[in-house]
Amino acid sequence: MRLKPSVLVLATAASLAGRVQAATHGYVQLTLTNGYNFSSLQLDWDGTLTNNTIYSTFATNVPDGTKIYLWDITNQVFTAPSVYSAASRTWSLNYTLPLGQGFVVQAAQPWTVTLVGNIPEGFLTNIVAGNNKLSLLSIMPPLGVDLTTRQFPETDGASLHLFRSTNQTYSDAFTYFTGYGWFDPNGVVNTNGPVIAITRAFFVRNPGPDRYWVQNFVVPLINSQGSGGSTGPNLRSLSLANDVASLRISNPKTVPYNIEFSTNFVNWTTVATHQTGSIWKEARPASARGFYRLESP
């Protein structure tokens, strides 16, 4: 059975303190198979990058018995799972799910949840634990790219494991060699390393010291009007219902703006022009993910 959460709530953008930029919002479908799914969040609930929780992400329309595990980097074990009870519509633990850190969803049946939120921008920092510890990580913005492109720290002898949900096993280790790049023993992946799919997490074992993984990401803005200035229009939130996508825009001086939509941050389509209102709606896009931004007409 494929569940569709009836209401997908997004941030009210209560505070922009600490935000790098508040210009772009989007949604991503997290497709889960029965069994273990090594997952991650790449959209931000409230602009802090750290306050996503199980409730804010998965809400309470979830298959009974679904479990979520975090990775305890200190003790190198998975935590006790948070278990969802359909009868009480509660999770046993409301774990925090920070961006860039993976978690494991154990599902009894395939289902899909649509995640909505701010797109993290700026210099996004993750820590890759050293001394042969395992870290469960993900790319922080919603991009499906290889590790070299995302400036993953280069540590000789680091090994990377992807968990294949389809057959519930790990890939062969990809090993990083200084002076070469990532080595795939099966000869399929090039030296840039494997492409990490959107919403997927991976394990990396780092034999060197702790490293910072700094990912610089900015959604390209042509006219930069939507970047959240004090007087210009500012995209505040996106919410998705079953058939409608709604944007809330702060625009106290009724400055005209266009709305653009993309599924990959590269190709943008103008979906509305010369808008001035504070709410804009369209039919919910059929794509598995999508991102909105404001531009000057």
In the complex, the residues that contact another protein under the rule CB under 8 A are 36, 38, 69, 78, 104, 106, 132, 134, 156-157, 159, 161, 163, 168-170, 172-173, 175, 177-180, 183, 185-186, 203, 205, 207
Cβ 45 to another protein shortest distance, Å: 24
Residues with Cβ within 8 Å of residue 85, at least 6 apart in sequence? 64, 65, 91, 92
Nearer to another protein (CB atom), residue 178 or residue 287: 178
Cβ 61 to another protein shortest distance, Å: 23
CB 213, CB 127: distance < 8 Å = yes
Nearer to another protein (CB atom), residue 64 or residue 172: 172
Burial of 51 (0-12, 13-18, 19+ CB in 10 A): middle
Nearer to another protein (CB atom), residue 167 or residue 269: 167
For 54, which DSSP code? Answer: H
Q: CA 225 to CA 250: how far, in whole Å? A: 12
Nearer to another protein (CB atom), residue 89 or residue 164: 164
Q: CA 124 to CA 47: how far, in whole Å? A: 12
Nearer to another protein (CB atom), residue 126 or residue 165: 165
Q: Convert 5-15 to b/e letters by CB count within 10 Å (16 or more is b).
A: beebebbebee
Helix (H, G, I), strand (E, B) or coil at 56: helix
Cβ 110 to another protein shortest distance, Å: 17
Cβ 211 to another protein shortest distance, Å: 15
CB 40, CB 59: distance < 8 Å = no
Cβ 104 to another protein shortest distance, Å: 4
Nearer to another protein (CB atom), residue 57 or residue 165: 165
Cβ 170 to another protein shortest distance, Å: 5
Nearer to another protein (CB atom), residue 62 or residue 245: 62
Instruction: Identify the CA nearest to 148 among candidates 181, 188, 189.
Output: 181
Cβ 106 to another protein shortest distance, Å: 7
For 200, which DSSP code? Answer: B
Q: CA 177 to CA 175: how far, in whole Å? A: 6
